């Protein structure tokens, strides 16, 4: 069973923090704080400031909901921080100084705190706490200036710190769980790849064994039955098996039939595939086999060597007899799999004699 590789390791993508559900969450967030602003802010007489503060937190939430990687990019984080802090500054400008009325008017703190929680989910835990510290500083500073009592500002903000701490624990646990899931997925993909490789190896060995049986089976059955075996048949079988070992990439039709006909004529043929770990790509060996078969059928010599070997950026198939090279067939580097050559030209085959 194969396991597809993940397109990314973005926890935000896996948790639905971007995409459709992010927009649904943004819409709910906007509706809730629009209603709160209408109830708490506008009747207080600070409509322009309240509207500006509301737009600030909505714009910050919009930037978080918009598609982006996790952790959140620094430039987007800076803009979100400016919008949130701007909203808080506008809030403190309209807070009443009468004790007991500030909590109803400070709805922006809850709006900003939710944004800080989502920032933690988007991989910005330290930044979220840094922004909260600035928010607390702004509110406590207002409290000192407006009321002369810092505890008023602390009373407004301590709950935000407690809820953000809970969100931090949740975000850290979520990220740790995501890393464990990714590690398990990696292990599963590795096991699947190993299993696929084993299956492919078993299939290849089974195919090779079936081919060897098809070649050697008839002759071996005749020997087992006590029938007389022509020595030339045994030599032809030995040569065919040797070709499959030493000339593995070239033991294909129509070359194998041409080699058999040449050996029947008494020609000693040696076939070598010296590409090592490299191999010709599917569909590229047939032109070589056809060319080599035509050359072998025309030969009238006692001994011939056919060799496929790396040459420069590509490879070359050469046919040589006792007097030297009879013909060569060039192979482009792009036709070779596993070649160490760095050159990859989009070429086919070129014959030279």
Residue 230: pLDDT band with limits 50, 70, 90: low
Residue for token pair 């090592």: 276
Is the residue at 221 inside a domain?
no
The residue that leads in pLDDT, 18 or 107, is 107
Distance, CA of 142 to chain centre: 51
Does residue 273 share a domain with residue 181? no
Most confident of 131-145, 196-210, 215-229: 131-145
Does residue 171 share a domain with residue 279? no
Q: Is the pLDDT of residue 142 over 60?
A: yes
Is the residue at 205 inside a domain?
no
The residue that leads in pLDDT, 235 or 268, is 268
Does residue 178 share a domain with residue 39? yes
Does residue 135 share a domain with residue 258? no
Integer angstrom CA distances of residue 5 from 71, 121, 199, 200, 259 = 21, 24, 20, 20, 46
Q: Is the pLDDT of residue 347 over 80?
A: no
Is the residue at 280 inside a domain?
yes
For the chain, how are helix, strand and coil distributed in percent, rounded to 5?
65, 10, 25
Is the residue at 320 inside a domain?
yes
Cis peptide before 314 (omega within 30 of 0): no
Does residue 264 share a domain with residue 137? no
Neighbours of 187 (CB within 10 A): 11
Rounded CA-CA distance 345/272 in Å is 25
Q: Tell me, what's the pLDDT at 62?
A: 94
Does residue 277 share a domain with residue 168? no
Write a three-state SS string for 60-122.
HHHHHHCCCCCCCCHHHHHHHHHHHHHHHHHHHHHCCCCCCCHHHHCHHHHHHHHHHHHHHHC
Is the residue at 232 inside a domain?
no
Query: What's the whole-model pTM score?
Result: 0.56
Containing 320, the helix (H) or strand (E) segment is strand 314-321
Is the residue at 4 inside a domain?
no
Dihedral through CA 161, CA 162, CA 163, CA 168, nearest 10?
80
Per-residue pLDDT tens for 49-96?
788 889 999 999 999 988 888 888 999 999 999 999 999 998 888 877
Q: Is the pLDDT of residue 293 over 80?
A: yes
Q: Tell me, what's the pLDDT at 133?
A: 95
Does residue 178 share a domain with residue 316? no
Distance, CA of 219 to chain centre: 51
Q: Tell me, what's the pLDDT at 9?
A: 64
Q: Of 151, 171, 187, which residue constitutes the final position of a domain?
A: 187
Q: Of 187, 204, 223, which residue constitutes the final position of a domain?
A: 187
Q: Tell me, what's the pLDDT at 28?
A: 93
Does residue 180 share a domain with residue 36? yes
Does residue 260 share a domain with residue 170? no
Q: Of 143, 170, 187, which residue constitutes the final position of a domain?
A: 187
Q: Provide the residue range defining the domain that includes 319.
A: 245-352
Containing 141, the helix (H) or strand (E) segment is helix 125-146
Look up residue 46 and give its two tokens: 């600070």
Does residue 273 share a domain with residue 348? yes
Least confident of 87-101, 128-142, 157-171, 175-189: 87-101
Percent of the chain exceeding pLDDT 90 equals 22
Does residue 155 share a domain with residue 28? yes
- Please tell me the total count of domains within the chain: 2
**Beta carbons of 173 and 156 less than 8 angstroms apart:** no
Rounded CA-CA distance 253/285 in Å is 10
Q: Tell me, what's the pLDDT at 227?
A: 75
Does residue 19 share a domain with residue 168? yes
> For all residues of the chain together, what is the average pLDDT?
80
Is the residue at 112 inside a domain?
yes
Is the residue at 30 inside a domain?
yes
Residue 293 is part of a domain; what is its CATH number? Answer: 3.30.565
Q: What is the number of H-type helices and E-type strands within the chain?
A: 11, 7
């Amino acid at each position: 069973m194969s396991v597809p590789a993940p397109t990314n390791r973005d926890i935000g993508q896996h948790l639905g923090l971007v995409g459709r559900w992010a927009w649904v969450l943004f819409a709910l967030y906007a509706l809730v704080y629009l209603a709160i602003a209408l109830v708490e802010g506008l009747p207080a007489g600070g409509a322009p400031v309240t509207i500006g503060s509301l737009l600030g937190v909505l714009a910050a939430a919009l930037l978080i909901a918009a598609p982006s990687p996790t952790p959140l990019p620094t430039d987007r984080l800076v803009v979100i921080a400016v919008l949130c802090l701007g909203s808080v500054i506008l809030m403190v400008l309209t807070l009443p100084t009468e004790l007991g009325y500030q909590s109803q008017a400070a709805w922006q703190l809850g709006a900003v705190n939710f944004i800080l929680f989502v920032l933690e989910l988007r991989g910005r835990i330290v930044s979220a706490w840094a922004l909260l510290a600035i928010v607390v500083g702004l509110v406590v500073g207002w409290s000192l200036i407006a009321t002369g009592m810092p505890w008023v500002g602390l009373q407004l903000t301590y709950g935000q710190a407690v809820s953000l701490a809970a969100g931090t624990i949740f975000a850290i646990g979520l990220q740790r769980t995501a890393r464990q899931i990714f590690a398990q997925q990696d292990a599963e993909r590795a096991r699947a790849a190993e299993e696929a490789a084993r299956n492919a190896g078993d299939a290849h060995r089974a195919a090779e064994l079936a081919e060897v049986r098809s070649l050697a089976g008839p002759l071996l059955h005749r020997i087992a039955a006590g029938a007389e075996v022509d020595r030339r048949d045994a030599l032809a079988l030995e040569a065919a098996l040797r070709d499959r070992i030493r000339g593995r990439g070239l033991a294909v039709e129509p070359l194998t039939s041409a080699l058999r006909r040449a050996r029947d004529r008494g020609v000693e043929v040696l076939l070598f595939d010296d590409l090592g770990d490299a191999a010709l790509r599917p569909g590229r060996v047939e032109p070589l086999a056809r060319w080599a078969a035509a050359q072998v059928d025309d030969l009238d010599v006692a001994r011939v060597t056919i060799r496929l070997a790396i040459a420069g950026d590509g490879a070359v198939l050469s046919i040589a007899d006792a007097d030297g090279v009879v013909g060569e067939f060039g192979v482009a580097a792009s036709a070779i799999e596993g070649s160490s050559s760095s050159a990859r030209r989009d070429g086919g085959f070129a014959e030279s004699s």
